Amino acid sequence: MLKKLTLCAALAMSTQSKADDYLLYFMGGQSNMEGFGFNKDLPAQYKKPVENTLLFFGNPVADDALNGGKGVWTNLMPGFGTGARSTDHAIILSDRFGPELSFGKRLSELTDKKIAIIKYARGGSSIALGASGFGTWGQNYADNTKINQWDNFQTTVRTALANNDIDGDGEADTLVPAGIIWMQGEADAYHDQASKVYLANLTSLMNDMKMTFGNKELPIILGRIEDSGKTPETRMMPYIESVWDAQKKFVKLNANAHLVAFDEPVEFIEDKWHYKSNYYIKLGNIFAEKAAETLAK
């Protein structure tokens, strides 16, 4: 089930007549950041737009495809999970949601600041070049004349920040970069060589992302990847231990980096890769609580 929002509707978000300050977060990664939660499973408090929280959804496409990163600012609401699409004039909502929904809602409850989220995630994408047929975030892509997920990220951020009035009230707004929320690694954990260089690739990617937002001290919050197989013999990702180790080492080596994880075993849908709906709510809440801690420091 898809729902289309026109640009006019997307910008009819505020009746205020003054400039506003927003804490700006980037949420990126692969499919469990994209989100496979079903809107129909949402508790009532999540089924309406989140107050004081806006979202720019960058259109997710494969490497070398056109129109990646296109989007407009709108209210945060259900429908920005897998299957959602956007152009520079419209948003097509899906019947799914991701961790952005509860992240925005919970963080807006934990701070008196307004929240702006830029989201770009591509299911199945790896950081390592050539590790996935669904796309790569590696900056040195082929002959540098082709387009990959790094380019789509850049387009997403550039397009989002080009609008200086994100709430559409006629006054320029101030966006203050406050953090990068990163949920990714499953694709790299599926391949031996990619898993071995995950720490180096993650470090390079996060450093470049921080500089995209003009702040080398920007907090980074990683989500620990999970596997539906609970033993080495049943795991979907045979090299997940290498990525787990890389995530832990990254946090130890970077003062403003944090690793968050579920405090209970995760339940998966039938494909064994993606979480059941309530775990996307939990994941967003975990991200939000850590983000609030970084604001208090």
Query: For the segment 81-94, what is each residue's pLDDT rounded down to a tens digit?
Result: 999 999 999 999 99
100 CB contacts (<8 Å, ≥6 apart)? 27, 35, 55, 76, 80, 117, 119, 284
The residue-averaged pLDDT of 224-242 equals: 96
The residue-averaged pLDDT of 46-67 equals: 96
Nearest to 27 by CA among 157, 205, 181: 181
The residue-averaged pLDDT of 154-158 equals: 97
Least confident of 16-25, 102-111, 207-216, 286-295: 16-25
pLDDT at 109 over 60: yes
pLDDT on residue 138: 86
Q: How far apart are CA 30 and CA 45, in angstroms?
A: 26
pLDDT at 3 over 90: no
pLDDT on residue 296: 84
* Distance between start and end Cα atoms, the chain: 42
CATH topology of domain 3-8+19-296: Rossmann fold (3.40.50)
Report strand pairing: 114-121 vs 96-97. Answer: unpaired
pLDDT on residue 7: 35
pLDDT on residue 156: 98
pLDDT on residue 13: 38
The whole model's pTM is what?
0.93
45 C-beta neighbours (distance < 10 Å), count: 9
Strands (E), 41-123: 53-57, 73-75, 85-86, 90-93, 96-97, 114-121
User: What is the SS3 assignment for 261?
Assistant: coil
Q: Quickly state the pLDDT bin for 184 (edges 50, 70, 90).
A: very high
pLDDT at 1 over 90: no
The residue-averaged pLDDT of 180-207 equals: 97
Domain chopping of the chain, boundaries: 3-8+19-296
pLDDT > 90: percent of the chain: 88
The residue-averaged pLDDT of 174-191 equals: 98
Q: How far apart are CA 124 and CA 187, in angstroms?
A: 6
Report strand pairing: 96-97 vs 37-38. Answer: antiparallel
Chain mean pLDDT for the chain: 92
